[in-house]
Amino acid sequence: MVFQSNYGREDTVAAMLLSPLFLYRSELGEWNANKEAYQLTDYEVATALAFQIWGTTPDAELLSKSGTGQLSTQAQIDAQATKMMQDPRAVNHLIEFVRYYTNTTANLSEKPNLTHSVIQAMNQERNEAVRYALTQGEATLDELFNPGYTFINDDLAQQYGLSTPGGSSMTKVATLPSRGGLLHQGILQVHNSDFTATSLVKRGKLIRENMMCHMMGVPSGVDPSAIDLPHEPITTRERWDVITGPDASEGQCWACHQLMNEPGSVLEAYDAAGRLRAREAAYNDATVTLTLDTSGVLRSNDASIELLAYKDTRDLSEYLANSDVGMDCFVDNYFRFTTGHEVDGDVQVNVDQIAANFRTDGKIWNMIADTVNSEAFLFRADRD
């Protein structure tokens, strides 16, 4: 980049910061006639590895290896990736991925029954549980969903109604089936709720879109308040079944809500502050409390097949962590998170193979190694 002498330092810095070379990662590559695609250069491989595994720029060691031809073969790339996965930065990046995967990235504010200290503890619970699974556990998707343990301090124990471990530090504790795992963590339940009440639809949409990779349609525009509710006390679940059911609004809402209402209902066992409950105040009569029904049926993304009959959140967690649809969606999420774009025809065959391998053992570090070893990592094709 060349600058004329009559421009000052401010203009020089501004021009540098606005340059595409500053704003974007370079993945131009060099043409590989055999693959009919652009192959990343060694420096681009270093950058791709760093962002893939650490979520940040390459360090001095990576840059040195790229400058001396030590990232030129797949074996060298694989060895470097294996080393990088032992670095704490790899675990931190995967924690960020789990925040994305569970829709818990926003900053939460205090609200009824939820203090700042409890919010902090909920964030720490998720982070420490993921960290333990990846570094001291089996590092499988099943362990993320169904670990049999969680991390709490006194603040969070009181919020959950558990025995306090005795202090402000996070302590690993064994759990009953109602706690432990991504769907059972307060941070997920709080993020996917409204200010004072749960949101059955937000929670169902989270499961359907983030964990089953089925993007839901936009709302139909039907006004729920225009639909008459029964006179007798009803639960939140019953209210949604009335206003979005197959007999409401000529079925305009049911096409999507039949897929969201029931998986959202299973999480009604946790209130808007992440506390376990068996009863709730009736939606249309706060003086009456009703017993929650969290059982239901999980349907395929096209609603044609009943995939699972469940009684509680643990049943759903076990299914999502061990089924093809849940495991494939986890891989799809990881690819989108680390590359910044959707899976398309140019990379579909590679992602399908990564997912097929992941189904055999569910091991997250193996999934990352398979991603780095795929042609989708090293080669780029022209896109329309």
Mean pLDDT of the chain: 93
- What is the distance of C-alpha 153 from the center of its chain? 24
Q: What is the pLDDT of residue 216?
A: 86
Gap between the Cα atoms of 132 and 141, Å rounded: 13
Per-residue pLDDT band at 49 (split at 50, 70, 90): very high
pLDDT digits (tens, 9 = 90+) for 79-96: 999 999 999 999 999 999
pLDDT digits (tens, 9 = 90+) for 18-45: 888 788 887 889 999 999 999 999 999 9
Alpha helices for the chain (secondary structure H): 9-18, 20-23, 42-49, 60-67, 74-84, 88-101, 116-135, 141-145, 154-160, 186-191, 200-210, 236-244, 254-266, 313-322, 324-339, 348-361, 364-372, 375-378
Burial per residue of 314-331, b for 16 or more beta-carbon CB atoms within 10 angstroms, e otherwise: bbbbbbbbbbebbbbbbb
Q: Which residues fall within 8 angstroms of residue 331, CB to CB, at 6 or more apart?
A: 351, 354, 355, 358, 367
What the block records as the tokens of 316 is: 């759903």
* Stretch 222-231: mean pLDDT: 76
Higher pLDDT, 374 or 12: 374
CA-to-CA dists, residue 130 to 92, 95, 180, 229, 260, angstroms:
9, 6, 11, 43, 26
Residue 48 has pLDDT above 60, yes or no: yes
* Stretch 126-140: mean pLDDT: 98
Residue 2 has pLDDT above 70, yes or no: no
Q: What is the pLDDT of residue 118?
A: 98
Q: What is the pLDDT of residue 253?
A: 86
Q: Is 140 helix (H, G, I), strand (E, B) or coil?
A: strand
Gap between the Cα atoms of 237 and 296, Å rounded: 11
Q: What is the pLDDT of residue 7?
A: 66
Residue 198 has pLDDT above 70, yes or no: yes
69: left (phi over 0), alpha (psi -120 to 50) or beta: left
Residue 4 has pLDDT above 70, yes or no: no
Element (H, E) at 299: strand 296-299
Q: What is the pLDDT of residue 5?
A: 53
Question: For residue 137, with 0-12 CB atoms within 10 Å meaning exposed, 13-18 middle and 19 or more buried, which class applies?
Answer: middle
pLDDT digits (tens, 9 = 90+) for 230-283: 889 999 999 998 888 888 777 788 888 989 999 999 999 999 999 999 999 999
Residue 1 has pLDDT above 60, yes or no: no
Residues listed for the chain: 384
Per-residue pLDDT band at 6 (split at 50, 70, 90): low
Domain limits, the chain? 35-84+346-384, 88-191, 197-322
Residue 320 has pLDDT above 60, yes or no: yes
Amino acid present at 240: W
* Stretch 202-206: mean pLDDT: 95
Which residues, listed in sequence order, are joined to residue 112 by a DSSP beta bridge?
none
Q: What is the pLDDT of residue 112?
A: 94
Which residues, listed in sequence order, are joined to residue 281 by a DSSP beta bridge?
289
pTM here is 0.92
* Stretch 110-115: mean pLDDT: 94
Residue 221 has pLDDT above 80, yes or no: no
Residues 28, 38 contacting (CB under 8 angstroms): yes
Which residues, listed in sequence order, are joined to residue 306 by a DSSP beta bridge?
299
Q: What is the pLDDT of residue 220?
A: 67
pLDDT digits (tens, 9 = 90+) for 328-384: 999 999 999 999 889 998 899 999 999 999 999 999 999 999 999 999 999 988 766
